[in-house]
Structure 1
Amino acid sequence: MRSTARRMFELVEPIGAVPYSTHEPNEAMFALGFTNYWDTYFAGRAAPLGLATAEVVDALFYNFAPGEVARHIPKVWRTTTPEAAIAARRLGCGNALRRILGERVDSPALARTADLLLKAASGAPPDGRPMYAALRALPAPDDVVGRLFHAASLLREHRGDGHIVALRTEGVGGLEAHVLLALDMGMPAERFGRIHHLPAAQLAEVIGGMRRRGLIGDDGWLSDAGRAVKQRVEALTDDLAAQPYECLQPSELDELMVGLEPLAALVLAAPD
């Protein structure tokens, strides 16, 4: 199922990433009283956890620098509640998908795709997957677009929980994961969006630790060992992400992929 999990990731990720790639979710969250993007990020994504502490959110999100989470959690809950954040996130993402998908929103094909995706997304056991379990405990929306986004979010968090397991298995820390990804993409770590803002000394320490472990060569790029670690992380992530799709019949899985392909293409091509 590894190739299935990888293909489904390619098709589902554009929909699951709508909170971070379109403007409507931010507008819905700003209407609650937030004034900066990162407050909306932490409130929106952490809301299914309830009033979890910064330490818990930091552990579950895994890849933020020390102190970053604590600048937003629990502060965001002085502005709104987890319940209101969940509702605003769903509203904004629904509005974004309706804009992008246009007339497809009312089609039987979209309803079928959303139902199949939700069947897969809610069919995996939550054992050992805290972010997935928290989101899975929420009732699915009644409307088609809401179900589509909810299912994609479930699968995104399910995969994310497994990805952390894969990183931990290879001994890759949260900030190191960003460096690994950046260098694998051929981008200097100092330019990578999630870590470029770090103090130079802090980032240099992370890179230095990876160089001492042989993951980065003297030229500053991934060594053979570093590339092998990245490949093993991705392979294990795919393996751990396959389970939701095992509840679908082969014909249903094929139908789901066919239904998702135009939706993913539309989301990827849409202007913000």
Structure 2
Amino acid sequence: MDRSTAPSAERRLGGALEPVIGQVFFSPEAHDGYAELGFERPSRRSGDVQLPDGPAYFTSRGSVMGDVSGEVIASAFAVFDPRVVVPCVEHGWTLTDAVTICATRDRGALGQMERILGADPAGRSRVEELLVRATDELPVEGRPLAAGITGLDDPDHPLGIIWRRGDLLREYRGDSHTAAWITAGFDAVQIGLLTECFWGLPARSYARTRGWTDDDFDVAADTLRSLGLIDTDGAFTAAGRDARENIEHVTDAQMAPVMSVIGDHIDELISLLDPWGAAIRSAGGYLASGPHDLAAQTF
């Protein structure tokens, strides 16, 4: 694959949306709401950012699908060890139900957005217009998290449509990415190791935050070496880099329903979202540089 070209528009949109929408996982307003439901308050930080409590994370994000089992949530999230996810979700459902924690999640996301950006940040109406255009007729077959979000109303808040439709697009790409690596024949541990190489992270650092053990990593690494995708030090081979890059290309291709309706306005949308994301990062509402900051986190 030619890695000298600029990132695709699909990936740039995902990157612009990430801090604006993914901030919900680090929102103090959300953490406070979950604590009121009986979850633990976060005890870990990455710089100025509060890292989420595991049971609250799995239960709140999974709540868009309803009161489903831990096995279903583990399957939808895909990259986490079910041995970690299932007990976290079982505990979460002893404290609350999907409707309640989903509403709490909405309030937490919107509370932090409004605190940092204000209720009417520059470009709000245009971002709302483009996100509605991108999601009103979005097909969600085979995309469980995105499908769950389509069943939810837009919150009654000045930023409510942006939050809901942005969350839908974020999970739509995530669901599509899962489909891409499953189709390529990888399992969750293998894709974790390949992604660390792809991002330039130390082996077994970020992937460890997904709950996997050294034995799991050993088995996955042996398989990837036997396929000629990593070398004896765990680094990419040329074939491994191409295989991992191809997963991103396949994911990009699945974003066609979004890109076809946004069309030539994609750069405009990204340019409006980027300052919002920068403001959220600067205020400690999202990780400063992305997955690198999560390397020490465990659920």
Please report the TM-score for the alignment, with normalisation by the length of structure 2.
Answer: 0.82
Distance 1:258 1:192 in 2: 29
Q: 1:151 aligns with which of 165, 169, 176?
A: 165
- Residue in structure 2 matched with residue 176 of structure 1 by the alignment: 190
AA in 2 matched with 1:87: A
Per-residue deviation at 1:240? 0.8
Per-residue deviation at 1:159? 0.4
Q: 1:87 to 1:173 in 2, by over 3 A?
A: same
The structure where helix makes up a greater share of residues is: 1
Per-residue deviation at 1:121? 2.7
- Residue in structure 2 matched with residue 208 of structure 1 by the alignment: 222
Q: 1:271 aligns with which of 284, 288, 298?
A: 284
* Residues 1:229 and 2:243 are matched in the alignment: yes
AA in 1 matched with 2:161: R
Distance 1:84 1:196 in 2: 26
- Residue in structure 2 matched with residue 142 of structure 1 by the alignment: 156
AA in 2 matched with 1:35: E
Aligned residues: 268
* Residues 1:185 and 2:168 are matched in the alignment: no
* Residues 1:124 and 2:138 are matched in the alignment: yes
Deviations 1:160-195 (A, max 9, x none): 111011101211211222111112222222222644
Distance 2:251 2:239 in 1: 18
Instruction: After superposing the two structures, state which structure 1 stretch, 192-201 or 217-226, moved more.
Output: 192-201
Distance 1:178 1:26 in 2: 27
- Residue in structure 2 matched with residue 14 of structure 1 by the alignment: 19
The within-5 A match list for 1:37-186 is 37-102=53-118, 105-107=119-121, 109-186=123-200
Please report the TM-score for the alignment, with normalisation by the length of structure 1.
Answer: 0.90
- Residue in structure 1 matched with residue 48 of structure 2 by the alignment: none
Tell whether the 8 Å contact from 2:20 to 2:277 is kept in structure 1 after alignment.
yes
Deviations 1:44-99 (A, max 9, x none): 11112112122222221111124122112233111001001111101111111112
Aligned partner of residue 191 in structure 1, secondary structure: coil
Tell whether the 8 Å contact from 2:29 to 2:111 is kept in structure 1 after alignment.
yes
Distance 1:108 1:219 in 2: 48
Tell whether the 8 Å contact from 2:70 to 2:89 is kept in structure 1 after alignment.
yes
